[in-house]
């Protein structure tokens, strides 16, 4: 087995964007001498992923996540740098490469709206040359896990968003890929559907050693599914490591949230303010000093209703970005 499933070296992507001008004269200028600006969407990314890892690829809107996924899956060519997936160069678009990956994008449907999911799935079975009996069994199994068995023969355009997404997932994995790329796959799904999908992915990763590369703005998705996090900001990596390590690094602090009282005075606070509004405030306190800090605040009648909590992944990510963008 390959030692690395995904190997990215100095990967960059620049887009040339033509500035639109409005007047007629400018339109003519646009045609003959377009004014272009360069957008550096991805800058010099390097990282590796081992087989069977679950990657959470995190970044703010416009950070370059989709651009990276497109390069890794071979639909977009890098401006410079290289990537290797399971030993293949995606830009060569070899059939065996295409058969070893799957892509599911939350905002782009790959299903055929006029046909039933079963029609589509059986097309995939032929396309990916998968044994028919084995295929039928996998589909039944997975459809059960996803609680979607009763929708396989409904015309796709009549499915709800969540049902359709489940079929996209099903279609993504029945082809038996080595790597599954997921770009915001849980957009618009209800809590139950999200839970089903997370369970589904975790199970697949365990049972089949499927490598998962996931972007999501829902940190609960990432927390549930991923064990390796790559965080990017404006196209550059700002964190690459195990989720455990990130949590541990920030685990030395806790958040204390309380309701402000009449004596409240922000200048008296020694701790860092995380958020506050008219009535409540959250401060960050080193784990060992929480009791003393709360006692002191209480003694000075600064607040009431104290709540102490660990930093959630989401909090940590917000802090990371805040620090980066200072």
Ligand X SMILES: Nc1ncnc2c1ncn2[C@@H]1O[C@H](COP(=O)(O)OP(=O)(O)OP(=O)(O)O)[C@@H](O)[C@H]1O
- Write out the residues near another protein by the rule CB under 8 A: 15-16, 67, 70-71, 73-77, 91, 93, 95, 98-99, 101, 103, 108, 110, 112, 114-115, 119-120, 122-123, 126-128, 155
Residues forming the site for Mg ion (CB under 5 A): 66
Collapsing DSSP to helix, strand or coil, 79 comes out as coil
The distance of closest approach from Cβ of residue 79 to ligand X in the complex, given in angstroms and rounded to an integer, is 12
What span, in angstroms and rounded, lies between the C-alpha atoms of 117 and 130? 17
Residue 64 engages ligand X in binding (rule: CB under 6 A)? yes
Looking at residues 40 to 59 of the shown chain, list those that interact with ligand X (rule: CB under 6 A).
41, 59
Q: Taking CB within 5 to 8 Å according to partner kind, which of another protein, ligand X, Mg ion, none is near residue 74?
A: another protein
SS3 content of the chain, % helix, strand, coil (to 5): 40, 30, 30
Q: Taking CB within 5 to 8 Å according to partner kind, which of another protein, Mg ion, ligand X, none is near residue 112?
A: another protein
Cβ distance to ligand X smaller for residue 232 or 285: 232
Burial class of residue 296 in the structure, from the number of CB atoms within 10 Å of its CB (0-12 exposed, 13-18 middle, 19+ buried): middle
Tokens representing 281 are: 């405030």
Which DSSP symbol is given to 91? G
Q: Taking CB within 5 to 8 Å according to partner kind, which of another protein, ligand X, Mg ion, none is near residue 178?
A: none
Determine how β-strand 179-183 pairs with β-strand 101-105.
Answer: parallel
12-24 core/surface letters (b: 16 or more CB in 10 A; e: else): bbeeeeeeeeeee
What span, in angstroms and rounded, lies between the C-alpha atoms of 159 and 163? 6
Cβ distance to another protein smaller for residue 115 or 247: 115
Stretch that binds ligand X, among 60-68, 97-105, 236-244, 313-321 (CB under 6 A): 60-68
Residue 62 engages ligand X in binding (rule: CB under 6 A)? yes
What span, in angstroms and rounded, lies between the C-alpha atoms of 215 and 106? 10
Residue 41 contacts residue 234 (beta carbons within 8 Å): no
Stretch that binds ligand X, among 62-70, 155-163, 240-248, 277-285 (CB under 6 A): 62-70
Residue 63 engages ligand X in binding (rule: CB under 6 A)? yes
The distance of closest approach from Cβ of residue 74 to ligand X in the complex, given in angstroms and rounded to an integer, is 16
Cβ atoms within 10 Å of 11's Cβ, excluding its own: 23
Q: Taking CB within 5 to 8 Å according to partner kind, which of another protein, ligand X, Mg ion, none is near residue 95?
A: another protein
User: Can you give the binding site for ligand X, defined by CB under 6 A?
Assistant: 15, 17, 39, 41, 59, 61-67
């Amino acid at each position: 087995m390959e030692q690395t499933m995904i190997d990215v070296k100095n990967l960059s992507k620049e887009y040339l964007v033509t500035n639109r001008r409005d007047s007629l004269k400018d339109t003519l200028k646009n045609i003959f001498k377009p004014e272009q600006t360069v957008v550096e969407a991805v800058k010099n990314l390097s990282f590796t992923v081992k087989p069977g890892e679950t990657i959470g690829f995190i970044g703010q809107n416009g950070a370059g996540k989709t651009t990276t996924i497109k390069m890794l899956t071979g639909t977009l060519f890098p401006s410079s740098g290289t990537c290797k997936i399971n030993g293949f160069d995606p830009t060569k678009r070899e059939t065996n490469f295409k058969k070893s990956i799957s892509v599911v994008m939350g905002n782009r449907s790959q299903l055929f709206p006029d046909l039933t999911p079963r029609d589509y799935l059986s097309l995939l079975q032929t396309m990916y040359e998968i044994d028919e009996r084995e295929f039928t069994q996998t589909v039944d199994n997975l459809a059960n896990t996803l609680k979607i068995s009763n929708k396989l023969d409904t015309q796709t355009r009549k499915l709800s968003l969540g049902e359709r997404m489940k079929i996209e997932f099903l279609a993504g994995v029945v082809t038996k890929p080595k790597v599954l790329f997921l770009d915001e796959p849980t957009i618009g799904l209800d809590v139950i559907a999200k839970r089903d999908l997370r369970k589904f992915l975790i199970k697949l990763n365990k049972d089949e050693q499927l490598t998962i590369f996931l972007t999501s703005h829902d940190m609960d998705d990432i927390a549930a599914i991923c064990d390796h996090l790559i965080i990017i900001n404006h196209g550059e990596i700002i964190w690459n490591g195990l989720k455990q390590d990130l949590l541990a690094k920030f685990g030395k602090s806790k958040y204390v949230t309380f309701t402000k009282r009449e004596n409240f005075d922000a200048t008296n606070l020694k701790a860092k303010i995380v958020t506050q509004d008219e009535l409540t405030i959250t401060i960050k306190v080193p784990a060992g000093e929480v009791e003393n800090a709360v006692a002191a605040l209480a003694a000075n009648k600064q607040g009431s209703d104290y709540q102490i909590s660990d930093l959630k992944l989401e909090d940590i990510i917000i802090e990371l970005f805040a620090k980066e963008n200072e």
